Amino acid sequence: MTDPRIPRVRPADPAAMAAAIDAFLQAAGFDTSAEPHLQRSGERVADAWSADLLEGYALDPAAALGDPFPDDAQDLVLVKDIEFFSSCPHHLMPYQGRAHIAYVPDGLAIGFSGIVRLLDCVAHRLTLQEWLTRDVTGTIMNVLKPLGAACIIEATPMCVFARGVRRPCKIASTSFEGIFREDPALRRDVIQATRAE
């Protein structure tokens, strides 16, 4: 996965973003020039979105994963409980949770930090949780050519918690490729391993 599902067609313009946030707050009934706590809100929001929430657009997922190294073992590798955040494109609200990412090498392996960097790269874009889950496994399959890859994500979406039904909940999404899709026992093993303390 090299192209984001929701592509950015031009570089971010923080000044225009800040002006748009000021206009939004004014349209919502606030006087941003008179209220000290809102005077720099547009600038702060623009900085947060351009520097943090959307920083994944500046990176290629394969490059974020890093350089593979030879590995003849075909043992399960599982990096679990990786905390992350992302932003939903529907309401521009965050969701945060934990990801569990696994693969079975077939000649190539990657450092554990690369798995975390890959997750951050894909998560720090406008993306749905289901896409994020599949894009992680898709990148691992494309770069490492492993026997299989798996990603399980449990996240709390603010668009469900703060609006609509207004209930805190965890949403689970999964993606299983290769041997994980073909072997139910291995799939169960990795699911069980993510639940172990």
Do 182 and 98 sit in the same domain of this protein? Answer: yes
Contact of 178 with 138, CB cutoff 8 Å = no
pLDDT at 5: 87
Do 80 and 41 sit in the same domain of this protein? Answer: no
Residue 149 domain-assigned (yes or no): yes
Amino acid at position 187, single letter = R
Residue 160 domain-assigned (yes or no): yes
Do 153 and 86 sit in the same domain of this protein? Answer: yes
Nearest to 174 by CA among 132, 118, 120: 132
Residue 183 domain-assigned (yes or no): yes
Find the mean pLDDT for residues 93-118. Answer: 97
Residue 66 domain-assigned (yes or no): yes
Is it the case that residue 1 has pLDDT exceeding 50?
Answer: no
Contact of 77 with 146, CB cutoff 8 Å = no
Nearest to 158 by CA among 94, 97, 98, 99: 94
Residue 114 domain-assigned (yes or no): yes
User: Exposure of 129 by Cβ count < 10 A (0-12 exposed, 13-18 middle, 19+ buried)?
Assistant: buried
Do 94 and 44 sit in the same domain of this protein? Answer: no
Is it the case that residue 2 has pLDDT exceeding 90?
Answer: no
**In 89-166, which ranges are E strands?**
93-104, 107-109, 148-157
Is it the case that residue 162 has pLDDT exceeding 80?
Answer: no
Residue 80 domain-assigned (yes or no): yes
Find the mean pLDDT for residues 67-74. Answer: 94
Residue 98 DSSP one-character state: E
> How many separate domains does the chain show?
2
Q: Chain-wide mean pLDDT for the chain?
A: 93
Residue 120 domain-assigned (yes or no): yes
Helix axes 41-48, 14-27, angle to 10 degrees: 130
pLDDT at 158: 84
State which residues form the domain around 142.
Answer: 59-195
Contact of 122 with 136, CB cutoff 8 Å = yes
Partnered with residue 85 across adjacent β-strands are 96
Do 73 and 169 sit in the same domain of this protein? Answer: yes
Residue 166 domain-assigned (yes or no): yes
Find the mean pLDDT for residues 23-33. Answer: 96
Do 163 and 110 sit in the same domain of this protein? Answer: yes
Amino acid at position 12, single letter = A
Q: What is the pLDDT of residues 119-158, one digit of tens each?
A: 999 999 999 999 999 999 999 999 999 999 999 999 998 8
